[in-house]
Amino acid sequence: MANVDVEGGFERLAQLWGLKQWKVEQEGEVVVSQTSQCEKSCVARIDFTHADLPYECKALVSRPEFMCEHTELFVTLNMEMIRMLSPGDAIVSMKYDAQLDRAVKMLVGQYSQELRFTLRRDFPHEGMTVALLAPPNPGGYMMLPHFTFLSYYIVVQPLDETSQATKVTHFLELPWPSFPSWATAFLHQIAMSEIVWARRFNCSEMFELAKNYYVVLCLQSCPRGTPLLPCHLTSDGAVHADSFIQDVSSVNVGHYAWVPAQQQGFNFPEYLEQLLQVLGFSAQVYDCLDGRRLVPYHATMLGRDWSRVEESFAKLFREQRSAYRLMHGGKGAPKVTQVTKPRFLNIWTRQREPVEDDVVEERNTFLNVQEPLKVSISGLQMRRAAEYP
């Protein structure tokens, strides 16, 4: 989960995006402009276009975990994973090729290769994606007196509604009170390295790899309460239950005794992890994706992890559906489906208009999400409570 350490960086980007007074230093395929509105630094801006790289492809391949795994696609840099935080958010080690490394050092001096790389969709406005590179600790690279974040941002957005082109904007804060004219050539070089990269690779191949990197799963149709959890019977025939279980009333279907999951504080990502553990499969299930919190009845995990467990999970969940109908009667029962358009809660993006996300109704899934609660379940902190009628 992204934490408060990077929120100041995103607020800074919103300020830079709103600035109107930019002095153009170079025009053409790459537009370099600058502004000096900070006491001890200036900000450089680079604008260019990828004519044949669609926005959605560019946004998806910009995830740090994807770039670390598919280094063969990014010839000007070598990125290695240090620690995965959440989808689209990681601590990475980044090494540029010799030419690009020289350009960066000329602009900002020596820099730390260890960076916090955070992606956020629909920011600073809906339909945009921004990548923020920040120092992972207070002693990180480019600590300016007035700003304690690495102010390097890459913003991508569709060029227009009709073409497949993508507009890219870089912001880089430079450690001088006024913009040095010699910096223009090195900023141009940074932009051209990305333009050449985009022309070199097949975007459809990259897109196929990136779009299936994660799957988003949706819990639907809980007409008579929370879904059921499988539990083993103890030696005396009693149900072995924990704090995630609502009560010990159960029905036996398949190899398990099935009991209702606790209604207050129910959270689908946690529930999904519980089922995967029953199958003997350890996988990280997330409640967020690319800087946005998923609604509580959605969860995401690596596509390759889901492919390995999907068949076994489907068999187990069919037993759950049978047990649910046996316990509650009727034909309705919870189901888990894969969705291509996940839904999100607007609780991370501060610059967007406030919304009423304390109450979310999904009539087709019989789900009401009420006021957020913090409930400790098996040592894990729940971030959102979902209640089912």
Q: What is the mean pLDDT of residues 98-127?
A: 86
Fill in the DSSP letter of residue 125: S
User: Which residue has 């223009």 as its token pair?
Assistant: 184
Q: Residue 196, Cβ neighbours under 10 Å: how many?
A: 11
Q: What is the DSSP string of 212-225?
A: TSEEEEEEE--TTS
Task: Check pLDDT > 60 for residue 150.
Answer: no
Considering Cα of 94, then 132, then 343, then 379, what sign does the dihedral take? positive
The one-letter amino acid code at 59 reads A
Model pTM above 0.85: no
When pLDDT is cut at 50, 70 and 90, the band that residue 347 belongs to is: low
Task: Check pLDDT > 80 for residue 137.
Answer: no
**pLDDT value for 385:** 32
Distance CA 101, CA 87 (A): 27
When pLDDT is cut at 50, 70 and 90, the band that residue 336 belongs to is: very high
User: Which residue has 């004519």 as its token pair?
Assistant: 51
Distance CA 144, CA 62 (A): 27
Highest mean pLDDT among 79-88, 102-111, 353-362: 79-88
State the virtual CA torsion across 63, 65, 66, 68 in degrees, nearest 10. 120
Q: What is the mean pLDDT of residues 137-157?
A: 59
Whether the bond between 372 and the residue before it is cis, its omega within 30 degrees of 0, is no
Determine contact, residues 271/227, Cβ cutoff 8 Å. yes
Least confident of 143-157, 262-276, 352-366: 352-366
Q: Report strand pairing: 228-231 vs 256-260.
A: antiparallel
